[in-house]
Structure 1
Amino acid sequence: MLIFTSVTWLDLCLASAAVYLVKQLSGKKNPAPYPPGPPGWPLVGNIADIPHNKAWLTLAKWGKKYGDILHVKVPGRHIIVLNSVKAAMELLDKKSSIYSDRPVFAMGGELVGWKDGLAFLSYGDRFRYYRKNIHRVIGSRTAVNVYEPSEEIEVRRFLKRVFAQPEQLDAHIRHTAGAIILRISYGYEVKDNNDPFVDLVGRAMHQFSQANDPSAFMVNIMPWLANVPEWFPGAGFKSLAREWRQTLKETVDAPYKFAKDQIGAGIAPMSYISNLLKGRTLSAEEDHMVKWSALSLYAGGADTTVSTIYSIFLAMTLYPDVQKKAQAEIDAVVGTDRLPSFADRDSLPYIEALVKESLRWNVVAPTGIVHCVSEDDIYDGYYIPKGSMIMPNIWSMLNDPQTYANPSQFNPERFLDNDGRGPEREPRTISFGFGRRICPGMSTHRSIHLADASIWISAVMSLAVFDISKIVENGVEQTPEVDFSSGLVRRTLSHPEPFKCSIKPRSAKAIELIQQDVNY
């Protein structure tokens, strides 16, 4: 819902009408037609047609009617939706030199300050510096291997928490994801409860989701409102932005200071920050970029892995045969006298397929994070004007029945060789984004990723020691509903709706493994 007081829809319509008339009178003729799309209303375009929840489903429906590439208009913006892998690859990969910018929303990007984060950073030298550093630290198999012991320890702690309080599964997953990424980013070891950095970053990410929701603040639709003074009627958003900017500043500065203090004291463990700072003297600009790229690493990894791991527990609840096959493979390869480790990964193809299927079945970023085209372009005879938002409908691509048989079914075997049929398309070539905006932890061949490693170790350790099943209430077995709706970052990320399941140790030996002491 738009946040405003004395600024009303009448004001919006009048402003839009003025802009429309000016463009009609002074604008040049387009060199080609826009891609097809749903007819919009005069002045406000399709703003009323795009739903607030699960927009990817509507965009996919439109794709079936209008084609793989479609045009949607909202006040002040052209949106080009790509519903096929082919269109996404041809534009975002092959033409990445002009399709790698980001739109910046006035509230979140300018007023709150998220424009300095990697997700919304304009394409240029600073963007390349962030990406180079992040890739150097986590962008290869060798680099990711350095952090595997930390991930294994945190997941073993996760097993203990789930064993003690299985009803708090979602909270345990979130805590563990935060612990892993804070350790990797800053060398910080989180507290068991009410950790100040986890709470601070959680608050900042919640504010991020609100500030960058295109429809939550009128200033995101009419950016010129950012210039009005705070006392101006209808400008209450500016005081809110000032409050959120302070939260963001603390979130950027506090863990960074912790890491620098540890380095200065000579006690810093291996981390993204220690890797970049030890033995170096940075300029003010470099210091700013290291600090912000570290926050970007955390912000990009926390909620995404939470959603996927939670969805794996949901899938195991609904598909017991899949769970049994996964556990049989673990028992045959690893045995029951120890927990699996990353050293076992290449010997567990079914677990690998299960993780791939989790990335496809619950598409964490259904429409990705939108790109922005920096020059006018013509594609397939259609005009894509400079400044258009380019939205890859990743959900549509990973649920295409022409590519994935029975896409609503959780079926890891689709990624294995079956009866001479080759595996279906690798989902990681799609789920982590495209072009120069691909998730920075992904290697160039799109097969190794920090988040992917966290998901794998969480899944394999959990399945080694726990049986996950439907709960029984009043003698009736309860089947959870499969409902992926908006998560922490509204509209951008999807998260399974809360569900109940039974999580019990598989054996007395499993309890022993869960309760083993773990320390760094």
Structure 2
Amino acid sequence: MTTTSSLFAGLGCLLVASIIYFRKLKANPARAYLPPGPKPVPVLGNIRDLRAKELWIPAMDWAKQYGSLVYLHIFGQGLIFVNTREVAHELLERRGPNYADKPQFTMVCDLCNCKNMVAFTPYGDQSKRQRRLMHKAFGIPRVPSYHPLMQNSTHLFLRNLIASPLDYRAHVRRYAGSLTLNIVYGYEVQSNQDEYLVMAEDAVDVLSNEIASAGGVWAVDLLPWLANIPKWAEGLPGMSFKRKARVWKKLMEDWVDGPFEYVKNSMKIGSYKSSFCSSLLEDESVSKTEDTFEFDLKWTANSMFGASIDTTITAVSHFLIALMDNPDVLKKAQEEIDRVVGNDRLPDFNDRKSLPYVDAIFDETLRWAAPVPLSLPHKVSEDDVYNGKYIPKGSLIFANIWAMTRDEQLYPDPNAFNPERFLNIDSELKKQRDPRNIVFGFGRRLCPGNNIVDSSLWLLMTSMLATLDISKPVDDQGKVIEQPPVFDNPIFRIPNTFKCSIKPRSERALALIRQTDLRATA
């Protein structure tokens, strides 16, 4: 994390950088037309305006005060927040190539060796090869082939949940992790302590909590020469980052190599399940075209897990919170499911078009949860101008998804959980309100697994609505326990673990859940 001692160690360099920055500002009149934003202080810039946790809260205030584009800087490094869908569409999609690059932070990319993960790969040949692999395996035409896996994983989740409802967070983690490991590698998780599942969870936790602490910016990111400090200097105040990076680097590399080698070894002995990796390794039209194929494939495969687990946990957690706070929503959904699906089976994907209220709950959950409120930063490749405002080359661009999903013009009373906002509206407004156009990102960095996440989360939530009663917990005296959500994760809007009452809604629902175990072992 960025410590005071390590920052002061490089104060001289920062001062030089700031002098260069202000000289550039003076030499280039266009820089006087930067987007508005909070007033910086000399040398440090806007460092006092930023915070490690829930940065989307002040970012929302900046959007209201300064408009669609907001500019800040730290030691001359520009940060631009894009606050409306219209501007995000213009910059990140219509001008996509100029906004598709990624910042190369020394700590996460070089020292921890994450630079080849899809989220961090610079825009260029490698990122394009990775996107092609993902599109081939996860494009819309391929999603139905994964439906049986999604259904089995959902049924296992329900069985685990009714067996130990207090462990709902662990069950969601296992659901997201095991489904992705199965789809990507053909690997079946056997328990919550499964080797690859635990390894993946540890790596994701390091990425989203440890490395991303203090906003993801370390002293070595501001002063890259610190990466070359000798080993004896690592004991100095603020210099422990190199010791941590060595441990984290090995964890990341084991996470990438382990499951991929499992697939290759399984294919050698002829005992494997069809998966993202196996299908591409077997497809000579793909595997023989690039010398870098296997390298690209293993890093692309690894990235799918990291992209899915925290998004799933965030969405399901907010889904539970919404149902606890809005019992009428649960009741309406169950009435619709009972009318359409009946009481003799669990919902499946064929029911989706016949369950408009349930689909509206799913849409509202995506909007209300906003799993990655500030998206992951893009980097501007060349100077640009939008609406008279100068966007300097090298600036980091944050799509302020939180502000977009709280746009009062598009979503009246935006902080309320209200599925009805997606019902009985014309097709144009429905398209504008569709949260999928926002929460999965924009342009050439749109989440490539969005179709998988959309389908798997829909079935999971619909199955929970069909079979469970979800309500606020009560204490020993029968008093309802109120729990305002707490958010400590700096990247994903994952609430800290909370208590929740989860029970089968009827004996018939319980029987249906238990019957899935018989079908799974038949």
Q: Which amino acid aligns with 1:431?
A: V
> How is 1:316-355 mapped onto 2 (pairs within 5 angstroms)?
316-355=323-362
Answer yes or no: is 1:250 the counterpart of 2:254: yes
Q: 1:420 to 1:519 in 2, by over 3 A?
A: closer
The answer to whether the 8 A contact 2:263-2:272 is kept is: yes
Distance 1:340 1:16 in 2: 59
* Aligned counterpart, 1:285: 292
Q: Secondary structure at the match of 1:54?
A: coil
Q: 1:378 to 1:199 in 2, by over 3 A?
A: same
The answer to whether the 8 A contact 1:318-1:479 is kept is: no
* Aligned counterpart, 1:182: 181
Q: Is 231-240 or 406-415 further displaced after alignment?
A: 231-240
TM-score (norm 2): 0.93
Moved over 6 A (4+): none
- Greater helix fraction, Structure 1 or Structure 2: 2
Identity of counterpart residues, as a percentage? 37
Q: CA deviation at 1:23?
A: 4.1
* Aligned counterpart, 1:384: 391
Structure 1 unaligned spans of 5+:
443-448
Deviations 1:105-155 (CA, angstroms, capped at 9, x unpaired): 110111111110000100011111111111111121x20111110111011
Q: Which amino acid aligns with 2:355?
A: L
* Aligned counterpart, 1:468: 470
Q: Which amino acid aligns with 1:130?
A: Q
> How is 1:52-67 mapped onto 2 (pairs within 5 angstroms)?
52-67=52-67
Q: Is 363-372 or 67-76 further displaced after alignment?
A: 67-76
The answer to whether the 8 A contact 1:486-1:492 is kept is: no
Q: 1:265 to 1:483 in 2, by over 3 A?
A: same
The answer to whether the 8 A contact 1:30-1:383 is kept is: no
Q: Is 143-152 or 235-244 further displaced after alignment?
A: 235-244
* Aligned counterpart, 1:239: 243
Q: Secondary structure at the match of 1:148?
A: helix
Distance 1:455 1:123 in 2: 29
Distance 2:229 2:22 in 1: 27
The answer to whether the 8 A contact 1:108-1:211 is kept is: yes
The answer to whether the 8 A contact 2:34-2:391 is kept is: yes
Q: 1:272 to 1:58 in 2, by over 3 A?
A: same
Q: 1:279 to 1:456 in 2, by over 3 A?
A: closer
Structure 2 unaligned spans of 5+:
none
The answer to whether the 8 A contact 1:109-1:212 is kept is: no
Q: 1:514 to 1:246 in 2, by over 3 A?
A: same
Distance 2:217 2:428 in 1: 48
* Aligned counterpart, 2:13: 15
> How is 1:384-423 mapped onto 2 (pairs within 5 angstroms)?
384-417=391-424, 423=430
Q: CA deviation at 1:322?
A: 0.5
* Aligned counterpart, 2:440: 432
> How is 1:84-483 mapped onto 2 (pairs within 5 angstroms)?
84-140=84-140, 142-209=141-208, 210-213=210-213, 214=215, 217-232=218-233, 234=236, 235-278=239-282, 280=284, 285-417=292-424, 423=430, 425-442=433-450, 449-483=451-485
Q: CA deviation at 1:484?
A: 5.7
Q: CA deviation at 1:18?
A: 1.6
Q: 1:503 to 1:53 in 2, by over 3 A?
A: same
Q: Which amino acid aligns with 1:82?
A: V
Q: Which amino acid aligns with 1:54?
A: E
The answer to whether the 8 A contact 1:85-1:397 is kept is: yes
* Aligned counterpart, 1:445: none
Q: CA deviation at 1:420?
A: 11
Distance 1:514 1:92 in 2: 44
Q: Secondary structure at the match of 1:120?
A: coil
| RMSD of Structure 2 on Structure 1 (CA) | 2.0
* Aligned counterpart, 1:37: 37
Q: Which amino acid aligns with 2:69?
A: I
Q: CA deviation at 1:510?
A: 1.0
Q: 1:352 to 1:462 in 2, by over 3 A?
A: same
Equivalent residues, number: 508
Q: 1:215 to 1:370 in 2, by over 3 A?
A: closer
TM-score (norm 1): 0.93
Q: CA deviation at 1:260?
A: 1.1
